[in-house]
Amino acid sequence: MAIFAIIFTALSYASAIGLFLIIGWYVYVQKFAKYLGNIPGPTPLPVIGNALMFTDSNATLKVCDKLFKEHGKITKVWIGIEPIILVSDYKAIETILSSAKLIEKSQLYKFLHSWLGSGLLTSAGPKWKKRRRMLTPSYHFQILEQFVPTFNKVSNNLVQELKNINNKNCLDIYPYVTLATLDVICETAMGVPINALQNKTSNYVHSVKEMGRITMERVFSPLQQIDLLYGFTENGKTEQECLKILHGHTLSVIKTRKEELGRDPNSSVDNMVDEFGKKKKIAFLDMLLQTTDNGQPLSDDDIREEVDTFMFEGHDTTASGVSFTLYEIANNPDVQKKILEEQNDIFGNDDRDATYQDLANMRYLEMVIKEGLRLYPSVPLYARTAFEDIQLTDDIWCPKGSTIAILAYHIHRDPRFFSDPEKFNPDRFAAENNTGKNPYSFVPFSAGPRNCIGQKFAFMELKSMISKIVRNFELSPVVPAHKPELVAEAILKSNNGIMIKLQERYERTHL
C-alpha cells in the first residue's frame, strides 16, 4: 500500500507541475496575444509550442517554405514559450534592416556568448556602437590589401591539395575549402598559421566545427535552451571541452603577441617593418592590441571576444560561399567559360598570384559570386529582438520582446524580384540589369546599420580562391547528377556534400 501511495503522490506532483506549466504558458502567450493575433501561423502545442516542427535542421528551410506558402510571407511559430516571427516580406525586411533602432540581435544569439562573449556580432546598444566604430578602420582597403598574399598562399595550398587527390571524378569540395578558409582567417585574424589543410585532425579545427553544430541545435531545442539542464546534456559537455581548446588557443596567441610587441621597438602598427624595410603584414590582433577605449587598452578578454568573432564569422561563411559557387560553376559550363576568359584577360599565360588590383578587375567573377550567394546565402536566416512594438506592415505589428527572424534564403528566391529564381544566372548582377530598386531583396551580408563589417574581406577571399581553382581545374558535374540537400545550421551547408568533378587543365590540354 505504501508503494501505491508513493506512486499516487508522485503522479499528483507531476500532474500539478504539468498543469502549472500549461497555465504559465497560456498566461505568457496572452501577453503577446494583442498583436500576434494578426500574424497567422500553425497552432502551437502547450509548453513546447511548434518546436517539434524544427527537430531536424535538415528540414528547417523546407518547413519555413511550407509555412510561408500556407500562412503568407509573415508568419509566426512558438519555440517553447518564445514567439518567433518569420519574415520574407520585402517591406517588412526593409523596415527591420534599415532601422537605426532595430539593431539588437535576438536572444537566440545568447547561445554563442559562451564562445564569443559580447563581441561585435553578439553585443548590443552602446557597446556595439563603440566596438563597430573602433573596428571599422581594420577593414580599410589599405589594410585589406595586405591580406592578399595570405589569400594567395592558402589558395595555392588548396590547389596543391586538390591535385594530390587520386580520384577527382566525384569530390566533396566543402571539407577542403573549409580547411583553407580556416587557414586564411587564423593567419589574418591572429597572425598565426594553423595549417589546417595539412593538419586535418587538429583539435582546434574540430572544436570550431562542433561549436557551429551545437549552437544551431540549441536554438530549436526547448530542453537545451534551459541552462540548468543543458549542462548535463551531451552537447553541454562537448561545448565545455571545445571552449577550453578555443579560448585557450586564442588567449595563448594574444599573450605571445603582446610579449613580441613589447620587445619590438617598432611595435606600432604604423611602424611594423621587416628586416628589409618592407612593411609587415598586420593581423587584426595587432590592431586590437593597440586599440584603446577611452584611453585604456582593451583587456585580453575584450580582444579574445573580437578575435573569436572574426574566426566564427569569417570561416564557415566563406567556405559555404566558395563551395556552393564552385558547384554552380561546375554545372554551368557557359558561366565557367566566361570566368576563364576574364581570367585569361587579366593573367594571360602567366601563372602569377593575383594582386589587389587583379581581384578588383574580376568583375564577371564578382557577378558569379553574387549569384551564388543569392541562391545559397551563407547565413540563410538571422534574427533581431523587438525592443518596442514595431509596425512591420500596414496591418501587422510585432510586439516588444518578440524575436524577428529574417529569411534571406527565401527573399533571394522570390520571383517578384528574381525572374526564374531557381536558375543560376550571374547576368542578374550586370550593371545594366541591377537597377538597385529593391536593395533589400539581396541581403547575404544583411543590410543597414548592422550589415556585415567584413563583406569586402569576404569578396576578396572568395575571388582569390575561386580564381585559383578555375585557372587550375576544369570543373564539371558528377555522374549521376548531384543536388545538395541544404541544411540551415548557423551556416548554410549541404547534408550530402557539395559534389563536383575536377580535371587539371594542364592534363586536359596534353591528352
- Domain-located, residue 188: yes
Residue with the bigger pLDDT between 141 and 385: it is: 385
pTM comes to 0.87
CA distance 383 to 183: 29
pLDDT, one tens digit per residue, over 357-374 is: 999 999 999 999 999 999
- The answer on pLDDT for 21 being more than 60 is no
Is pLDDT above 60 for 238? yes
| Inside any domain, residue 10 | no
491, three cell numbers: 551556416
pLDDT tens digits, one per residue of 193-236: 888 888 777 788 788 878 878 887 887 777 888 888 898 999 99
In this structure, is residue 11 part of a structural domain?
no
**What pLDDT shows up at residue 276?**
39
Segment of 122-136, 262-276, 415-429 carrying the highest mean pLDDT:
415-429
Count of domains forming the chain: 1
- Using pLDDT thresholds of 50, 70 and 90, give the confidence band for residue 70: very high
Structural domain contains residue 31: no
- The shares of helix, strand and coil residues in the chain, as percent rounded to the nearest 5, are 55, 10, 35
Mean pLDDT of the region 68-75: 95
The range of the structural domain enclosing residue 396 comes to 37-509
For residue 492, what is the enclosing H or E element? strand 492-494
Residue 130 lies in a domain: yes
**20 within some domain:** no
Residue 384, domain CATH: 1.10.630.10
Residues above pLDDT 70, as percent of the chain:
87
Instruction: Read off the pLDDT of residues 285-295 as tens digits, 9 standing for 90 and up.
Output: 888 888 877 77
Within a domain: residue 362?
yes
Count of CB atoms situated within 10 Å of the CB of 511: 5
Band (pLDDT 50/70/90 cuts) for residue 263 is low
- Read off the pLDDT of residues 307-326 as tens digits, 9 standing for 90 and up: 888 888 888 899 999 999 99
Closest CA relative to residue 324, chosen from 466, 185, 439, 440:
466
Q: What is the pLDDT of residue 357?
A: 96
The answer, yes or no, to whether residue 510 has pLDDT greater than 90, is no
Q: Is residue 308 part of a domain?
A: yes
Checking if the pLDDT of 329 tops 90, the result is yes
CA gap 241, 235 in Å, rounded: 10
